[in-house]
Amino acid sequence: MKDLKYLIEFENLLENADNELVKKAQSEGDLAIGYTCYHMPEVLLNLGNCFSVRLRAPRSSSIDIATYYMSNYTCEYCRSLLERAIEGGYQFLDGIAGVDACSAMNRCYEHFEILKCCEKPDFFITHCDIPYKIESYTVDQMEIQMRLRLLDVLKERYGVDTSDEALLKAVEEHNEVCRIMTEIGDLRKLPNPPVTGYEYHVLSLVSYCCPKRLILPYLRETLEEIRHREPDEKSPFRARVVVVGSEIDDLDFTRLLEDAGAMVVADRYCYGSKPGREEIKIDPNENILRQIVLHYMKTSECARYMSEEKVQQRRDTADRLAREYSADGIIYEQMKFCDFWGFERPLASHILAEEYGWPVLSIDRPYNVRNSGQLRTRFQAFVEALEIKRIHGGKEVQGG
């Protein structure tokens, strides 16, 4: 296929957290609010002159200093963020909206503060407590947390408009991003899609890491380009897979997988589009903040939600996506030392194979896979197993 017009520019934007669009927005008076987790409603960080930046540490190498502070038994994502912060990579931020989601990330935020990793005079780090299940009282709790520890902080520190009108405007902008990303993503349901999993991963990440008002024109144009794009006569991929699990902001993971012959047709992982790019339905006559909070709680697939119905929801979602996108198999991944997904992955991958009948490759991985020979070998073997299953008419189910 012909290369996407802006693909290289998008890749360049993902080389640094402080990318060119972030710099442009800040030069025009906007405020950059960093966040790391889906539990922090992205739309609430795009009020008034604020814009959200989902934090990454691209091209990380040594994380020795962060390991000294956090130990080598915490996830590499958290350590990579702290290492980049110590290096000065997040000095551009005007605030960080954190959530009490996992102990490793809490330690990362704590060291951001202790080590004074940002020296702006009005810089803040706020922590919001996140419930483990959805009940009326936990929705109340989440709404109160977002009001007191986020919206009130933005208003008091920077005079940000947090009115219902501002909330509705932010939801409208957010929903446009979601419509574009959903339409592009759904094209992967086609037998021979006009967009690859790698290209979609790039688009998804820039939609999280760049100011919405500045990235939207590029996304609109790219959508039109893909609508009229002619795919190769024969697909270069030998299998179709859904990737499920913990945080992936590493483009090399998707590149390595697709180079092995498996196209990523759906991305159910942290920093992916499911959840993350569903429209927020709002009744303007009801409590708007509560509706936003409830949307994120209901759509979240985070392993931190431990209630029985949420555990079942995660399994059903993986099964549903694999069927909707005509996948041949599922790759269930977790980052090394991730507490929640470390408990979730072994049992869930087993159940998806034994009870749902899917071929499943279950892996743990580092934050940056780079050019991992081990992962490449496992990906290649899984693709070959899927091909053998297809040849035998689906009678063999290969797991990993």
Q: What is the pLDDT of residues 229-272, one digit of tens each?
A: 999 999 999 999 999 999 999 999 999 999 999 999 999 999 99
Higher pLDDT, 204 or 100: 204
For the chain, what are the domain ranges?
15-160
Query: What pLDDT, on a 0 to 100 scale, did the predictor assign at position 137?
Result: 96
Residue 283: helix, strand or coil by DSSP? coil
Q: What is the pLDDT of residues 337-366, one digit of tens each?
A: 998 999 999 999 999 999 999 999 999 999
According to DSSP, residue 55 is labeled: -
**Summary mean pLDDT of the chain:** 95
C-alpha to C-alpha distance for 284 and 68, rounded to whole angstroms = 49
| Helical residues (DSSP H) of 44-196, grouped into ranges | 64-70, 76-86, 103-114, 136-146, 152-158, 164-186
Q: What is the pLDDT of residues 62-109, one digit of tens each?
A: 999 999 999 999 999 999 999 999 999 999 999 999 998 899 999 999
CA 286 to chain centre: 29
C-alpha to C-alpha distance for 360 and 386, rounded to whole angstroms = 10
Q: Full-prediction pTM beyond 0.85?
A: yes
On whether the CB atoms of residues 22 and 45 are closer than 8 A, the answer is no
On whether the CB atoms of residues 335 and 343 are closer than 8 A, the answer is no
Q: How many CB atoms lie within 10 A of CB 288?
A: 19
Choices 1.10.4080.10, 3.40.50.11890, 1.10.490.10, 3.20.20.60: CATH for 15-160: 3.40.50.11890
128 bridge partner residues: 99
Query: What pLDDT, on a 0 to 100 scale, did the predictor assign at position 394?
Result: 61
Higher pLDDT, 119 or 399: 119
275 upstream amide cis, omega within 30 of 0: yes
